[in-house]
Amino acid sequence: MNIKAMSFIKNMSYTISSNLISLIISTLVVLIVPKLIGIEEYGYWQLYIFYTSYVGFLHFGWNDGIYLRFGGEEYKNLDKRLFYSQFIELLGSQLFIAILIWLGSLVLVGDINRGFILQMVAIAMVLVNTRLMFFYILQATNRIKEFARLTMLDRIVYILLIVIFLLFGVRDFKLMIIADLIGKFVSLFFAALSCKEIVFRRINTFYLTISESIINISVGIKLMFANIASMLIIGIVRFGIERAWDVATFGKVSLTLSISNMMMIFINAVGVIMFPILRRTNQDKLANIYSTMRDFLMVILLGFLIIYYPLKSVMAAWLPQYAESLLYMSLVFPMFIYEGKMALLINTYLKTIRREKVMLKINLVSMILSLFMTYITTQVFVNLDMAILNIVILLAIRSAFAENYLAKELNIEVKKDIVLEVLLTIVFILTGWFVNSWMTMIIYGIVYFIYLMIKRKDITGTIQNIKLLMKS
């Protein structure tokens, strides 16, 4: 096994370890918190999480530009004085925006709880966006070990505080939000220590780097808007549900989405490793690596759907007050298939070959389609089932469009695979919704076995390719 393969495996072990801990923590939060706090309190907590998921876009692509421009570089070769000046300028801009959000919440929001949430979101924005610069520097320069530790630290501090609050009988969503902010602050502090050559410098080494900021923003803003549009595909549906129904319904739907999203923790971990590696890889090898990774990933993701019914049964027994809403898992559970393929393969490759404009166009079209479909299902038909089903339909459409474009760029064929994956998803949703028993697992298991038989030659080739990649 060569040095690069060993390095990849080490980085993989770091990210999997940190993300396994994050998965355990997410599972504990998903399983324990809604059981111990009221449905409305849980709804407000989910609202905070929902809003904070968008604060990363208020740096206007600044950090994304750094990530794209310096991906694959060595940390020791970075201009530390330049990055220090960028850090100071970014921090100042985030503090200014946070003050505006805080003042806006006092003036424009009448609901005390929603006002508090927006104020905490303003604080979260400063912590998250400043920390993101360090996270992206570590990722871009392949310092995966430090990045993994910092990701893990954030969640460990968070869950420890949550457990302490719950043990002392605290059931207030406000203190849970504060626990999240403390976790982010601790992680930010140690991220700064990891990049101490950049952060801890004399103030007289600072100089205005407006032209550098403009370059980073101009490069990163396309990726940022692409990410905003990507998140809004689901976000618009969730917002439509929150507007058309009450906060309790929003919390119940959010629970099913949280369960479906847990698989994404591992997928995102691998995506973090792949970007700097692919930036250093010979362009002629990208197509073969893509086909190998695709077959390997999809066999795992489609197979993971088999555990749906046992997982749903356990969740319904543990959270009986959410039992009715857990039926919606059959509609949204396959979302990680399309989200996973986009995050690990398609987006990583599009960033590697610098096609941010294409990402933006595809996500914008999908977002507009989401807006239209959400309006029809939540305002015209007022049908919650249809609104939730929209999520998987929209993600599948976006994935198909994006992968077809990438396949043309790499000169590979994927249409047959896309059709097979859509057929398996349809079988899963139909059996999960209409059968809703252990037969769901059996029927889908049979169809999945047929899929493996159809793909057996590709799977054999993938195993051989992985062995060759490890050696060469």
Q: What is the mean pLDDT of the chain?
A: 85
Q: So what's the pLDDT on residue 272?
A: 67
Alpha-carbon gap, residue 265 to 112, rounded angstroms: 33
Q: So what's the pLDDT on residue 451?
A: 93
Q: So what's the pLDDT on residue 182?
A: 94
Alpha-carbon gap, residue 394 to 391, rounded angstroms: 5
The position carrying tokens 């076995």 is 449
Q: Are 26 and 180 in contact (CB under 8 A)?
A: no
Domain ranges (residues) in the chain: 1-208, 225-472
Q: So what's the pLDDT on residue 470?
A: 63
Please name the residue ranges forming H helices in 171-209. 173-194, 196-199
Tens of pLDDT, residue by residue over 137-190, are: 998 888 888 888 888 888 889 888 888 887 887 778 888 889 899 999 999 999
pTM of the model: 0.75
331: number of Cβ within 10 Å: 23
Of the candidates 83, 462, 62, 87, the residue with the CA atom closest to the CA atom of residue 298: 462
Please write down the long-range contacts of 454-460, taking CB distance under 8 Å and 24 or more positions apart: 454/420, 455/295, 455/299, 455/420, 458/295, 459/295, 459/299
Percent of the chain with pLDDT over 70: 90
Ranges of residues in the chain with a pLDDT under 70 are: 1-16, 19, 23, 26-27, 30-31, 260-273, 276, 280, 469-472
Angle formed by the axes of helices 308-318 and 3-36, nearest 10°: 40
DSSP string, 53-99: TTGGGTTTTHHHHHHHHHTT--GGGS-HHHHHHHHHHHHHHHHHHHH
The burial class, CB within 10 Å (0-12 / 13-18 / 19+), for 70 is buried
Ramachandran quadrant class, 267 (left: phi over 0; alpha: psi -120 to 50; beta: rest): alpha
CB proximity list for 284: less than 8 A, separation 6 or greater: none
Of the candidates 321, 319, 303, 322, the residue with the CA atom closest to the CA atom of residue 263: 303
Tens of pLDDT, residue by residue over 406-420, are: 999 989 999 999 999
Angle formed by the axes of helices 384-410 and 286-304, nearest 10°: 160
Q: So what's the pLDDT on residue 86?
A: 94
Q: What is the DSSP letter of 37?
A: S
82: number of Cβ within 10 Å: 13
Q: So what's the pLDDT on residue 269?
A: 64
Q: So what's the pLDDT on residue 307?
A: 87
